[in-house]
Amino acid sequence: MTPGINCAKKAKVAFKVHEYQHDASSQSYGLEAAEKLNIPSKRVFKTLVAKLDGATLVVAVVPVDSMLSMKSLAKACAGKKAEMADKLEVQRSTGYVLGGVSPLGQKKALKTVIDESASQFSTIYVSAGRRGLEIELSAADLQSLTRASFFSICQA
């Protein structure tokens, strides 16, 4: 079990775990998950960590087939500017390796923003904390577990 799965178990929310054989040569972990699990890419969400105003780490959860809008993320977090966080900082803060960063069970709870498109699905898929492992749960449960807000944070 990963910290992400343990977080969902402890909270007693409904979830399913989906495992697939990760291909190390894959260019996109999220798109690989959608393809191997045979689900629409709009229902698979990637977890990105950004730095707000050069100081604070924040988490953005967006569909794997979309690009994060740094401007929208900064606005959602009441900041001026957002940029992708350094990978070592991400790993140190979350406890996860890149490609396996889950919004759940992170070492340090970070402000989280989920793209509002997640609310249109009964369930969504996010990393369970390891490459090749996804957790399926409702967007509302993900919001509750991460104390996240919904905001339009994808590039148009």
pLDDT at 77 over 90: yes
pLDDT at 156 over 80: no
Q: Are 112 and 148 in contact (CB under 8 A)?
A: yes
pLDDT at 1 over 90: no
CA–CA distance, 124 with 129 (Å, rounded to integer): 15
pLDDT at position 119 is 96
pLDDT at 16 over 90: yes
pLDDT at position 15 is 97
Predicted structure pTM score: 0.95
pLDDT at position 50 is 97
For the chain, give the percent of residues with pLDDT over 90.
87
CA–CA distance, 12 with 145 (Å, rounded to integer): 10
Position of tokens 């969504």?
124
94-113 residue pLDDT tens: 999 988 999 999 999 999 99
CA–CA distance, 149 with 156 (Å, rounded to integer): 19
pLDDT at 29 over 90: no
